[in-house]
């Protein structure tokens, strides 16, 4: 439970920080974060070739979602965050979680979903106010 609380808190801190720092492009910031969280798994699993292959594939998927989220549509970023949160819980069905920190699934799920919902709110705001910038 603490991992989820920390994930929610950190997600909110990131959102508040980059809301206050208006000079940063939100799509780029959240795309970079999505890419980084995908590659964390690679860093945790580099010592096991099978896990390294699995996590490298998932990291590449999130890299492409981030890229298309930045260059094409925020929908890719939204999907990326919700899919990554889901990945965190499904990971144990693909591979051993022995190399992943304890409770990482809850931490990552909560931070991913907080940021995913925030991006949904940005999308709704932009749809309702076409002249507004993110």
Query: pLDDT per residue over 94-104, tens digit each?
Result: 777 788 888 88
Q: Is residue 134 part of a domain?
A: no
Nearest to 32 by CA among 63, 58, 73: 63
Q: Is residue 77 part of a domain?
A: yes
Instruction: Report residue 39's pLDDT band, with 50, 70 and 90 as the boundaries.
Output: very high
Q: Which domain holds residue 62?
A: 2-128
> Chain centroid to CA 82: how far?
7
Rounded distance between C-alpha atoms, residue 93 and residue 42, angstroms: 17
Q: Is residue 16 part of a domain?
A: yes
Residue 134 has pLDDT above 50, yes or no: no
The stretch 18-30 carries a mean pLDDT of 93
Q: What are the C-alpha distances in Å from 10 to residues 4, 7, 15, 44, 115? A: 10, 5, 9, 20, 10
Q: Is residue 133 part of a domain?
A: no
Position 37 scores a pLDDT of 94
Q: Is residue 74 part of a domain?
A: yes
Q: How many domains does the chain have?
A: 1
- Secondary-structure breakdown of the chain: helix, strand, coil percentages, each rounded to the nearest 5: 80, 0, 20
Residue 133 has pLDDT above 60, yes or no: no
The stretch 104-111 carries a mean pLDDT of 92
């Amino acid at each position: 439970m603490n991992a989820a609380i920390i994930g929610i808190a950190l997600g909110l801190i990131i959102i508040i920080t980059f809301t206050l720092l208006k000079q940063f492009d939100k799509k780029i910031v959240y795309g970079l974060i999505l890419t980084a969280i995908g590659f964390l798994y690679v860093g945790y699993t580099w010592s096991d070739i099978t896990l390294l292959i699995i996590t490298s594939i998932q990291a590449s998927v999130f890299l492409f979602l981030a890229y298309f989220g930045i260059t094409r549509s925020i929908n890719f970023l939204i999907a990326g965050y919700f899919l990554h949160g889901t990945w965190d819980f499904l990971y144990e069905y693909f591979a051993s979680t022995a190399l992943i920190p304890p409770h990482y699934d809850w931490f990552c799920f909560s931070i991913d979903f907080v940021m995913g919902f925030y991006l949904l709110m940005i999308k709704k705001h932009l749809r309702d106010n076409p002249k507004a910038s993110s």
